[in-house]
Structure 1
Amino acid sequence: MAERQVNRYAENVLTCSENQQYRGEMVLDDSALVRIISGELKMVHGDRHYTFGAGDTFLFPRNQLSTMMKNGKDGKPYKAVIMRLTTAYLRDYYTKNEVLLEPAHSPEMLCFDKTPLLDSFFASIFPYFELDNQLPEKLVQIKMEEAIEILRSINPHIDRVLSDFSEAGKINLADFMEKNYMFNIPLEKFSHLTGRSLTTFKRDFKKAFQTSPQRWLTRKRLELAHYQLSEQQRKPVDVYYETGFENLSHFSRAFKSHFGYTPTALLQGK
């Protein structure tokens, strides 16, 4: 069972624990600095795959789609500590500090090598989960500034992610969907991320693809799954979720309906 612990006295710091395997999509409103304590996290972000284990640290940028798979490892459950770097605070920070690089409007996830600076930072926020009174706002700001200064010192390109304050505007729908169709999120989320109302999204989608979003998404996901099964020799259990299906049985039924044979039959040479 998943457990997400947020101390109401220090809301910018939280832990996430999973005693069982978890899979899901994620889009964050704020950038997040994440340290894996135990277990394993696999993520699909754009066309890249990441695997994080105990001791790994990465920055997850705001307004970016990812698929995550959390698992226990070495007899320990998945557990991570997250520091939210709020957009409001980052705006304030960058009005007072020079931005070294232009923001990237499609920022990538950034991974960091092990360093005493990050180790000491996370060690300093663990006690926040024991608080029984409000963490002063000034200290919240100090810890966020400390995190930013550490990141800027160890990664000269970090400003491209942290100083990107762009909001979801109306973007090229066809390009966005071709890059993100494998993410199993509601149409409402797709419409928001392309800067449209749901009604406008469906109308623009029909103009771009001459079919409904549901039909197009199913076809694209099945074609991707077929490629991974036939060309990469992957197993159905390893493919269905990464290609946008909620469970294996639904994937198998849709696959057979579309291609005329099951995923297993494909691997066995039909």
Structure 2
Amino acid sequence: MEDRHFINYSNIFLNMKVSEDTICDLGIPEHCLLYVYSGQVDFREDNHSIIVSAGECAFIRKGHRIKMTKYSDKNTQVYQSILLNFPRKFLLEYYRHQGKDKFPETARRSKTSILKIPSRPDVTSLFESIFPYFSSSDTPDKEWLDMKLKEGLYVVLKSNANVYASLFDFTEPWKIDLMGFMEENYMYDLSMEELATYTGRSLTGFKNDFRKVSELTPQKWIIRRRLETAHELIAKQHYKVSEAMMNVGFKNLSHFSRIYKEAYGLAPSAGR
């Protein structure tokens, strides 16, 4: 009977098994970076074998299935690996903060789905800093976990500039639900062009698709959604007006007060 042990810290996973060799056929829903701590992994792609040994890692592109065989360490009979998932929202945030001009225009999407990354000091230091948490009663905080995901992203991008074309491809293959994206991002200052890009559409396609799901223009929908949340924060959660305004993305207090009064018939301060 195989003994598996998984620990999940918000997109950072530890997989440990004490067993015979294991063959897996897995779908890959998110881009990820897998580091082998002990044992070995043999990936199969188009009849080619990519072996990742202890101290090495591999970037695995999303949107396909892979076959992999996990081998336990010959001495300890233990296989251990750490997996970093790069969710779409994390990549969008990174892309937005870095700016499009920071990414190489010459990057081209690789035909292979797996990029092996040999042992390097930055690889070793990243995963050696993560591993102790899996045997500790302490739980890492979100800021620390986000920092480790960014370090992992740095490891991947440093290894091959062409990976930019896969990680930050927000075009049609990544086309996502409009209203789901808007609900998660209405508080940010995003232009119409950015909203279109992040949802995998042209500007015209974004506007046309938005008309199918809302009677409002995107700009008016964002203002109304911000007002709804601000009203909730002020009236029910007793936020200060300035705090509520900033939380939902408004920057100008007089403008916020005016449109709030137009929507709810009273000043924001009275709403408390």
TM interval, shorter chain, is: 0.5 to 0.7
- Conserved 8 A contact 2:36-2:54: yes
The 2-side partners of 1:46 and 1:102 are apart by: 23
**% identical equivalent positions:** 18
- Conserved 8 A contact 2:28-2:66: no
1:140 aligns with one of 136, 145, 149: 145
Counterpart for residue 11 of structure 2: 12
Unaligned runs of 5+ in 2: 176-272
| Offset at residue 103 of structure 1 (A) | 6.0
The number of residues matched between the two structures is 168
Counterpart for residue 266 of structure 2: none
Counterpart for residue 93 of structure 2: 92
TM-score (norm 2): 0.54
Counterpart for residue 264 of structure 1: none
TM-score (norm 1): 0.55
* Structure 1 runs (4+) greater than 6 angstroms displaced: none
One-letter code aligned to 2:72? G
| Offset at residue 133 of structure 1 (A) | 5.2
List aligned pairs for 1:182-201, cutoff 5 A: none
Query: 1:198-249 CA distances to partner (integer Å, 9 max, x unpaired)?
Result: xxxxxxxxxxxxxxxxxxxxxxxxxxxxxxxxxxxxxxxxxxxxxxxxxxxx
The 1-side partners of 2:72 and 2:122 are apart by: 27
- Conserved 8 A contact 1:4-1:14: no
| Offset at residue 51 of structure 1 (A) | 1.7
2:97 matches 1:78: no
The 2-side partners of 1:22 and 1:168 are apart by: 32
Counterpart for residue 104 of structure 1: 109
The 2-side partners of 1:48 and 1:167 are apart by: 29
- Conserved 8 A contact 2:21-2:72: yes
List aligned pairs for 1:1-270, cutoff 5 A: 1-7=2-8, 10-18=9-17, 19-75=19-75, 76-97=77-98, 98-100=102-104, 101-102=106-107, 104=109, 108-132=113-137, 134-165=139-170
The 2-side partners of 1:156 and 1:105 are apart by: 10
Q: CA RMSD in A?
A: 2.6
| Offset at residue 74 of structure 1 (A) | 2.0
The 1-side partners of 2:108 and 2:170 are apart by: 8
One-letter code aligned to 1:48? H
| Offset at residue 90 of structure 1 (A) | 0.9
Unaligned runs of 5+ in 1: 171-270
| Higher relative contact order, chain-length normalized (CA < 8 Å, sep 6+) | 1
Corresponding residue SS for 1:158? helix
The 1-side partners of 2:70 and 2:12 are apart by: 19
Corresponding residue SS for 2:113? coil
Q: Which has the higher helix share?
A: 2
One-letter code aligned to 1:5? F
